[in-house]
Amino acid sequence: MVHRSARERREILRGIRERASGSEPLVRTVRLPDGAGDDLLGYAAAVPAVQALRGDGLDLHPEVTFLVGENGSGKSTLVEAIAVAAGLNPEGGSSQMRMSTRVSHAPLGDHLQLVRGGRRPRTDFFLRAESVFTVATELDRIAEEPYAGDVLGPYGGVSLHELSHGESFLAIAGNRFGGDGFYVLDEPEAALSAQNQLTLLRRIHQLVREGSQFVIATHSPLLLAYPGARILGCDEDGLRELAYDDAPAVALTRSFLAAPERFVDRLLADD
């Protein structure tokens, strides 16, 4: 008889449940194994949200998992490491893209373990708002190579450099993303108007219905409203699950919009 640990048995049972309910994720759990000591993780070892991945690790929602939290709380460190562990380029792009203009990412991604679901992703992409430019440059470069084929076709047929920042972001999500994909996004709202954040929300919904899974770091109350999503707050204590109304970006925006003048008067009042 094969001996299985308690954790393995739990995972097998969970897989059976998920297949029965039709909610099987592409990536089920992100975990930092015991063997990955702090000395191997670079600056990421000092990030509490990273330390929270030890032990049982972090279970991803089969559809959409959001990471929220203050600037510096570790969202980018986490999403980048998840992207790297999934075989994606830390700079952004798909698992086929290998450009490198920056070497500052933490080695965390080389040590994170992804527990995959029973389905394999058909495609994938890591998109950070600030790296749309790098992705666009890399695509133009590949398109110039002999026998490159129709490199820009899957992105809407034009160089992304000819579009605005927000437009190129939506072109990638609208044209290049497809069903059964694993997508990691870092603050996608940074490039997008409120209206286009809603366009992205619709696109996420369409892709989820086609079997895709998302991990998204965000400050956007609009994106966070995705129905049923798992919202995880990163803070000095690690990671904790939050209800939509309790996500700091939502609570603060709500109290601001309830009475903007009063809010700003108070904010700007002399002590």
Ligand X SMILES: Nc1ncnc2c1ncn2[C@@H]1O[C@H](COP(=O)(O)OP(=O)(O)O)[C@@H](O)[C@H]1O
Q: Which of residues 28-47 bind ligand X (CB under 6 A)?
A: 43, 47
Task: Determine the Cα angle at 163 with ends 157 and 164, to 5°.
Answer: 155
Q: To which H or E segment does residue 31 belong?
A: strand 27-31
Helix (H) or strand (E) holding 19: helix 6-21
Of residues 24 and 187, the one with the C-beta less far from ligand X: 187
Q: How far is CA 188 from the centre of its chain?
A: 9
Nearer to Mg ion, 31 or 75 (CB): 75
Q: How far is the CB of 67 from ligand X (least distance, A)?
A: 8
Binding of ligand X at residue 256 (CB under 6 A)? Answer: no
Shortest spacing between CB 221 and ligand X, in angstroms? 17
Strands in 70-221 per DSSP E: 113-116, 123-128, 181-186, 213-217
Q: Which stretch binds ligand X (CB under 6 A): 20-28, 33-41, 72-80, 86-94?
A: 72-80
Q: Is 220 in the site for Mg ion (CB under 5 A)?
A: no
Token representation of residue 186:
């870092």
Residue 213 is a binding residue for Mg ion (CB under 5 A): no
- Which pair of tokens denotes residue 95? 């698992």
Element (H, E) at 235: strand 230-235
Examine residue 76 and tell whether it contacts Mg ion (CB under 5 A): yes
Q: Which of 73, 196, 212, 218 binds ligand X (CB under 6 A)?
A: 73
Q: d(Cα 237, Cα 51) in Å, to the nearest integer? A: 9
Cβ at position 84, least distance to Mg ion in Å: 15
Among 5, 21, 71, 195, which residue sits at the site for ligand X (rule: CB under 6 A)? 71
219 contacts ligand X (rule: CB under 6 A) = no
Give the neighbor-by-neighbor strand order of the sheet with 58-59. 58-59, 27-31, 113-116
Radius of gyration of the chain (CA): 20
Element (H, E) at 233: strand 230-235
Binding mask 47-66 for ligand X (x = CB under 6 A): x-------------------
Report the nearest approach of Mg ion to the CB of residue 92 (Å). 13
Dist. CA 213–CA 216, nearest whole Å:
10
| Shortest distance, position 43 Cβ to ligand X, whole Å | 4
Question: Which of 76, 89 has the CB closer to Mg ion?
Answer: 76
Q: Tokens representing 198?
A: 């809603």
b (16+ CB within 10 A) / e for 122-155: ebbbbbbbebbebbbbbbeeeeeeeeeeebbeeb
Q: Which residue, 67 or 152, has its beta carbon nearer to Mg ion?
A: 67
Binding mask 172-201 for ligand X (x = CB under 6 A): ------------------------------
Size of the site for Mg ion (CB under 5 A): 2
Q: Work out how close the CB of 141 gets to Mg ion at its nearest, in angstroms, rounded to a whole number.
A: 26
Are 240 and 233 within 8 A, CB to CB?
A: yes
Residue 76 interacts with ligand X (CB under 6 A): yes or no = yes
Q: Is 103 in the site for ligand X (CB under 6 A)?
A: no
Which residues contact ligand X (rule: CB under 6 A)?
A: 43, 47, 69, 71-77, 104
